[in-house]
Amino acid sequence: MNATVSSRLSLLAAGVLIALSCTIPRVQAENIPVYFSHKQWYLVCDNTLTCRAQGYSPDNELYSVAVLLTRFAGSSTPLENQVMLTDLLDNAEALPHRGTPHLLIDGHGLGALQWADEQSQRWRMNATQFSAFLRALRRGSQITFQDKWGTYPLSSAGSSAVLLKMDDVQGRVDTRSALFKKGVKDESGVKAPVIAPVIVKMRAEEAELRVMNAQELAFYKPYLMNSLAEHKDYDCTEERLDNPELPWQIARLNDRQSLVSASCWMAAYNWGEIFWVVDNEMKSPAQRVTESGTVYNNGEIDSLQRARGLGDCLVRERWIWNGDAFVHSYAGNTGRCHLIRNVGTWNVSDFVTTVVQP
For the chain, 358 residues long, give each residue's pLDDT as a single digit of tens: 555 455 445 444 544 343 333 333 333 444 579 999 999 999 999 999 999 999 999 999 999 999 999 999 999 999 999 999 998 766 666 677 889 999 999 999 999 999 999 888 899 999 999 999 999 999 999 999 999 999 999 999 999 999 999 999 999 999 999 999 999 999 999 999 999 999 999 999 999 999 999 999 999 999 999 989 887 777 899 999 999 999 999 999 999 999 999 999 999 999 999 999 999 999 999 999 999 999 999 999 999 999 999 899 999 999 999 999 999 999 999 999 999 988 899 999 999 999 999 9
Instruction: Report the C-alpha gap between 259 and 277 in whole angstroms.
Output: 5
Kindly report the pTM of this predicted structure: 0.89
Pair (130, 255) in one structural domain: no
Query: Nearest CA to 32 among 20, 40, 42?
Result: 20
Domain for residue 317, yes or no? yes
Which element (helix H / strand E) includes 231?
A: helix 214-231
97: DSSP letter: G
Sheet strand arrangement including 102-105:
108-112, 102-105, 143-146, 151-154
Pair (142, 223) in one structural domain: no
Instruction: Report the C-alpha gap between 4 and 12 in whole angstroms.
Output: 12
Query: Nearest CA to 65 among 318, 355, 340?
Result: 340
Pair (242, 124) in one structural domain: no
The residues that bridge with 103 in the sheet, in sequence order, are 145
Domain that holds residue 120: 30-170
Pair (284, 158) in one structural domain: no
The total number of structural domains that make up the chain? 2
Domain for residue 18, yes or no? no
Instruction: Report the C-alpha gap between 194 and 198 in whole angstroms.
Output: 12
From 150, 170, 190, the end of a domain falls on: 170
**Inter-residue contact 14 to 313 (CB < 8 Å):** no
* CATH for 144: 2.60.40
From 128, 151, 170, the end of a domain falls on: 170
CB atoms within 10 A of CB 217: 15
Domain for residue 186, yes or no? no
